């Protein structure tokens, strides 16, 4: 447990250490920190080869290697599409469509962030849209913070809607055995209603800071498009990936990760033919570090399971999981707050392992309720504190580099003001869905 806590600390702190007897430095970033944790556990004989093997190959539904292939394949498709300038092009179109209305701009940016997150990942939406929001706000003389907060909140709420929206969705859904369509059946409506309530609340909070009129800067969206054919091809590949992933596995006969891998290879071959020199640039944008990050945490949590920590946690969870409504609300809020403290990835892996414990004695519907509440918590937790997701720190750093700092406490002030209500809306919708459909 100490190694688990220390690893989470290193993930956030990412210290630089000097390699002894050399002048070289090693940065223990979020990719390396869990591996350091695994090495320490192995060196101290706390875990053996069998635990590492179980952590890599998986057990009871979760197959870490397939989760990672899926995440990297989807990331490649999205990164390649982003590289064509397509998302920047869309954002500029949306900014132009607001036609001098600050209120319209605020709503349009929220909706665009929500829409893009449905089909891509939150890192890409944050990196692309933050730049455009800064550009539009600076030229119009508007404070960008309300727009940026709205964008960040939207990204983390709508990330819950589809199986591919967040890596934590894949981990939790695979553990329970939810398919792409089943996932959307349970999560789409709660995330849409949560997004609507978030938009309403965030509007109420910031309404006085959003001007009704502003001068739209001269915008030429076409200037943002690097490769028109590539953007078209990438959009088609992304659409095909989502469509094929949503088909039942029995129809296609291959697992969902194989579909994503196939389309990523198609995209890669297209990129090789279209712009060979840019392949290293595209490759450098793929979040490769998520591979050792997740793999390391799978192994560390596997070791926690073998020493009884997840069983202990599972028995405590069983106590609060009485009725369906208390299960969903308690796990939804607990997961959100836990994600806010320890990051959503390790939190999800730890909770999933606890749900698989024999000491978690919830009935079948409550088990499904726990899984969907965990998915909600792992996504929404990122809006409570900047530590809730890796994207949070990246987002805050971009803001700081652009001269608009937001502190942990300021972010959490808005998070705790808005998100409890939003999470309540999502949990209530989940309860109603489970009562009607389960």
Partner 1 sequence: MYKRMLLCVTEATPQEIIQVATKLCSKETEVCVLHIVHLLTDFTQKEVSKEFAWIIDLFKKAELKCSLKVIESTDIGRAIISAAKKNSCDVIVIGTIFRKGLFGFFSESISDYVVKNAPCTVVLIRKAGQLA
212 binding partner 1? (CB under 8 A): no
393 binding partner 1? (CB under 8 A): yes
Give the residue ranges of DSSP H helices in 14-101: 33-43, 49-57, 64-83, 86-97
CA distance 301 to 355: 13
CA distance 139 to 41: 53
CB atoms within 10 A of CB 54: 19
CA distance 47 to 59: 16
386 binding partner 1? (CB under 8 A): yes
Q: Which of 250, 277, 364, 409 binds partner 1 (CB under 8 A)?
A: 409
Q: Which of 100, 229, 307, 407 binds partner 1 (CB under 8 A)?
A: 407
225 binding partner 1? (CB under 8 A): yes
CA distance 422 to 430: 12
The 3-state DSSP class for residue 59 equals strand
Two structure tokens written together for 204: 């109420």
Select the span of 66-74, 104-112, 333-341, 398-406 touching partner 1 (CB under 8 A). Answer: 398-406
137 binding partner 1? (CB under 8 A): no
400 binding partner 1? (CB under 8 A): yes
Are 110 and 150 in contact by the 8 Å Cβ rule? The answer is: yes
135 binding partner 1? (CB under 8 A): yes
Site string for partner 1, 253-282 (x = CB under 8 A): ----------------------------x-
14 binding partner 1? (CB under 8 A): yes
Q: Which of 109, 110, 134, 384 binds partner 1 (CB under 8 A)?
A: 134
Are 329 and 343 in contact by the 8 Å Cβ rule? The answer is: no
Q: Which of 208, 284, 358, 436 binds partner 1 (CB under 8 A)?
A: 284
229 binding partner 1? (CB under 8 A): no
Under DSSP, the state recorded for 329 is: H
Shortest Å distance, C-beta 221 to partner 1: 8
- Total residues contacting partner 1 (rule CB under 8 A)? 39
Select the span of 13-21, 103-111, 196-204, 328-336 touching partner 1 (CB under 8 A). Answer: 13-21
Of the candidates 37, 82, 105, the one whose C-alpha atom is nearest the C-alpha of residue 299 is 37
DSSP string computed for 362-399: --HHHHHHHHHHHHHHHHHGGGT-TTSSHHHHHHHHHH
Q: Which of 37, 71, 88, 120 binds partner 1 (CB under 8 A)?
A: 88
CA distance 353 to 50: 17
**What are the residues binding partner 1 (CB under 8 A)?**
12-14, 16, 25, 27, 82-83, 85, 88, 92, 127-128, 131, 134-135, 220-221, 223-226, 281, 284-285, 386-387, 393, 396-397, 400-403, 405-409
């Amino acid at each position: 447990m100490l190694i688990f806590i220390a690893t989470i600390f290193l993930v956030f702190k990412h210290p630089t250490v000097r390699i002894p007897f050399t002048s070289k430095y090693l940065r223990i970033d979020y990719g390396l920190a869990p591996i350091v944790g695994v090495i320490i556990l192995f060196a101290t004989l706390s875990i053996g080869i069998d635990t590492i093997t179980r952590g890599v190959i998986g057990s009871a539904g979760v197959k870490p290697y397939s989760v990672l292939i899926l995440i990297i394949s989807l990331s490649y498709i999205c990164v390649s599409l982003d590289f064509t300038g397509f998302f920047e092009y869309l954002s500029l179109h949306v900014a132009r469509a607001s036609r001098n209305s600050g209120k319209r701009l605020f709503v349009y940016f929220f909706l665009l962030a929500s829409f893009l997150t449905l089909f891509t990942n939150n890192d890409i939406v944050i990196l692309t849209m933050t730049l455009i929001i800064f550009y539009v706000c600076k030229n119009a003389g508007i404070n960008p913070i309300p727009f940026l907060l709205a964008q960040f909140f939207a990204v983390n709420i709508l990330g819950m809607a589809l199986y591919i929206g967040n890596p934590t969705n894949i981990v939790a859904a695979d553990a329970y055995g939810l398919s792409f369509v089943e996932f959307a059946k349970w999560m789409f409506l709660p995330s849409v209603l949560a997004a609507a309530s978030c938009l309403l609340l965030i509007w109420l909070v910031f309404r006085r800071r959003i001007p009704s009129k502003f001068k739209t800067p001269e915008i030429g969206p076409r200037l943002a498009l690097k490769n028109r054919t590539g953007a078209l091809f990438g959009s088609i590949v992304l659409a095909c990936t989502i469509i094929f992933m949503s088909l039942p596995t029995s129809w296609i006969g291959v697992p969902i990760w194989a579909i994503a891998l196939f389309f990523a290879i198609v995209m890669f071959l297209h990129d090789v033919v279209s712009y060979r020199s840019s392949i290293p640039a595209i490759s450098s944008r793929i979040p490769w570090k998520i591979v050792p990050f997740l793999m390391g945490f799978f192994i560390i949590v596997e070791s926690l399971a073998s020493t009884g920590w997840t069983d202990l946690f599972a028995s405590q969870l069983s106590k609060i999981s009485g009725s369906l409504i208390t299960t969903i609300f308690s796990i939804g809020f607990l997961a959100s707050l836990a994600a806010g403290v320890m990051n959503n990835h390790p939190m999800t892996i730890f909770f999933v392992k606890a749900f698989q414990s024999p000491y978690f004695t919830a009935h079948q519907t409550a088990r499904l309720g726990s899984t969907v509440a965990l998915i909600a918590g792992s996504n929404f937790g990122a809006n409570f504190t900047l530590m809730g997701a890796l994207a949070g720190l990246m987002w805050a750093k971009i803001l700081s580099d652009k001269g608009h700092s937001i502190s942990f406490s300021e972010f959490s002030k808005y998070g705790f003001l808005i998100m409890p209500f939003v999470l309540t809306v999502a949990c209530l919708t989940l309860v109603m869905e489970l009562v009607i459909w389960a």
